[in-house]
């Protein structure tokens, strides 16, 4: 079979596109982003956005870099498959989306986001963090936050055959904070900032899931609660 020069160039272009599509480490210090990119890239954040401003405070840096583990649509698809498998008093394994850290640093502050389902009957929901402060957010979300972790739970009413299982499970968002050097300034303002950031990043996943009650559409107004 003979191959023309044009066919070779087309094949090369397709190959180059495939190689570029697997590059997942990107700087978040560039300009604005398209709506499609924001929804598909779970940590696509511009510094001037609400998430970007919060992230600068969380990471104590003006610029940040991203490592993508799974796209938003991949996480949403995994959660749809996992929802019916949520045990009556357990949880599904969480699915990581991405990690962000201060630009140009090897180590330093870092935050990683993951999402899953937890049975509403599970004791894990009430399991206290060592130094956790409970909170609620307008719209029905609740959880705990401390220096190294933010846990957020909210109801997500799914359509169709997932409607039943979704009524017995909480959508669960978790932000894990690696801090170096250790912070001595973690107060309620810092925890509120971490919680608001987790809320906004979780919103991308609930939108991709198609939660019919739109649980995270309101602005993230965090209300700390007395510790039990």
Q: pLDDT by residue (tens digit) across 136-183?
A: 998 899 999 998 999 999 999 999 999 999 999 999 999 999 887 777
User: Which structure tokens are listed for 197?
Assistant: 């950031």
| β-strands 133-137, 222-224 pairing | antiparallel
- Mean pLDDT is lowest, of 19-23, 132-136, 193-197, for 19-23
End-to-end CA distance of the chain: 75
Nearest to 124 by CA among 149, 146, 143: 143
Mention every residue, 6+ apart, whose C-beta is less than 8 A from residue 7. none
- Mean pLDDT is lowest, of 92-96, 217-221, 223-227, for 223-227
| pLDDT tens digits along 79-97 | 999 999 888 878 888 999 9
> Distance between CA 143 and CA 136 in Å, rounded?
6
Nearest to 191 by CA among 203, 202, 177: 177
- For the segment 106-133, the average pLDDT, to the nearest whole number, is 89
Mention every residue, 6+ apart, whose C-beta is less than 8 A from residue 74. 95
């Amino acid at each position: 079979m003979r191959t023309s020069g044009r066919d070779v160039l087309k094949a090369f272009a397709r190959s180059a596109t495939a190689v570029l599509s697997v590059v997942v480490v990107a700087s978040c210090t560039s300009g604005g982003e398209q709506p499609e990119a924001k929804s598909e890239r779970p940590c696509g954040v511009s510094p001037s956005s609400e998430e970007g401003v919060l992230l600068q405070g969380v990471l104590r840096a003006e610029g940040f870099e991203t490592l993508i583990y799974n796209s938003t649509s991949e996480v949403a698809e995994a959660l749809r498959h996992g929802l019916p498998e949520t045990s009556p008093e357990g949880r599904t394994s969480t699915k990581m989306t991405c990690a962000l850290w201060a630009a140009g640093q090897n180590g330093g502050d870092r935050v990683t986001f993951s999402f899953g389902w937890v049975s509403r009957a599970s004791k894990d929901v009430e399991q206290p963090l060592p130094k956790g402060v409970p909170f609620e957010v307008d719209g029905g979300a609740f959880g705990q936050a401390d220096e190294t972790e933010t846990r957020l739970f909210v109801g997500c009413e799914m359509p169709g055959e997932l409607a039943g299982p979704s009524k017995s499970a909480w959508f669960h968002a978790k932000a894990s904070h690696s801090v170096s050097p250790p912070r001595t300034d973690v107060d309620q303002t810092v925890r509120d900032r971490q919680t608001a950031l987790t809320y906004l990043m979780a919103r991308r996943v609930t939108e991709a899931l198609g939660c019919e009650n739109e649980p995270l559409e309101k602005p993230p107004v965090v209300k700390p609660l007395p510790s039990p």
